[in-house]
């Protein structure tokens, strides 16, 4: 169990590479995110291994299906001992409520958060699927729905933090990727913030991949981010 706001994204094509990086990290100093690629390749056994090494694991599988199926998938994730699970808010109220019901707050259950609008989608992409709201309005709308269904928070881009903090409870948690320390390369991320800026704006957890995973010395990179955050 960690108290760190830093979640390291394990975006690796194989268990071997993921474990090599993990062997250089300390469970008290960061949490880990396992996404669709690594999970599809290496599956629940890898997740169990990470949990056994005392890491808090964010299972980033973005469940989106009928309520019963999502509830059961969430339960299956909880059975792996993960710390955080996410679903798509676009699955609607009944699906969000079913997920929450499967994983009641507390009771040693994982935190349950939702994805609103994928940051890869702009206004034109939303129109194409029949949504006439602007991305910002759609994000706000889905975050409010997520909050009303009792989930713990949403994934959002750093630029959305201020917008969402305007009218959501302070206890509603914001998990943000798109984080780049000043000293790191931007890569393909466009709308970015530094770790300190994102926390200052009201973010709770920072998903950070390449600045740590591709560093020559990942723990040194992590330390630099910790000191930027005053940890």
Which residues sit at the interface with ligand C5P, rule CB under 6 A? 9, 11, 35, 119, 157, 177-178, 189, 207-210
| 49 class by beta-carbon count within 10 Å (0-12 exposed, 13-18 middle, 19+ buried) | middle
**Looking at beta carbons, which residue is closest to ligand C5P?**
209
Smallest distance from the beta carbon of 174 to ligand C5P, in angstroms?
Answer: 12
Active site residues: 62
Token readout for 91 is 């699955």
Token readout for 108 is 């040693």
Whole-angstrom distance, CA of residue 176 vs CA of residue 206: 5
Whole-angstrom distance, CA of residue 11 vs CA of residue 177: 13
Q: Residue 187: which region, alpha, beta or left (left: phi > 0; alpha: psi -120 to 50)?
A: left
Smallest distance from the beta carbon of 130 to ligand C5P, in angstroms?
Answer: 22
- Rank residues 10 and 102 by Cβ distance to ligand C5P and give the closer one: 10
Smallest distance from the beta carbon of 114 to ligand C5P, in angstroms?
Answer: 12
- Rank residues 174 and 208 by Cβ distance to ligand C5P and give the closer one: 208
- Rank residues 75 and 133 by Cβ distance to ligand C5P and give the closer one: 133
């Amino acid at each position: 169990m960690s108290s760190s706001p830093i979640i390291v994204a394990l975006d690796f094509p194989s268990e071997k590479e993921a474990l090599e990086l993990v062997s250089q990290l300390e469970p008290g100093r960061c949490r880990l995110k396992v996404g669709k690629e690594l999970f599809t390749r290496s599956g629940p056994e890898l997740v169990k291994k990470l949990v056994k090494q005392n890491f808090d694991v964010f299972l980033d599988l973005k469940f989106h299906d009928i309520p019963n199926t999502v509830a059961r998938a969430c339960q299956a994730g909880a059975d792996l001992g993960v710390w955080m699970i996410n679903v798509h808010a676009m699955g609607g109220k009944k699906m969000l409520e079913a997920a929450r019901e499967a994983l009641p707050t507390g009771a040693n259950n994982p935190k349950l958060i939702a994805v609103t609008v994928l940051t890869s989608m702009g206004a034109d992409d939303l129109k194409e699927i029949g949504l006439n709201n602007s991305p910002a309005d759609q994000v706000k709308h889905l975050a409010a729905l997520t909050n009303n269904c009792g989930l713990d928070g949403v994934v959002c881009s750093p630029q959305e933090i201020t917008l969402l903090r305007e009218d959501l409870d302070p206890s509603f948690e914001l998990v943000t990727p798109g984080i780049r320390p000043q000293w790191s390369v931007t890569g393909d991320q466009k709308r970015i913030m530094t770790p300190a800026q994102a926390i200052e704006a009201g973010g709770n957890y920072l998903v950070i991949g390449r600045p740590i995973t591709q560093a020559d010395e990942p723990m040194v990179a992590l330390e630099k981010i910790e000191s930027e955050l005053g940890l």
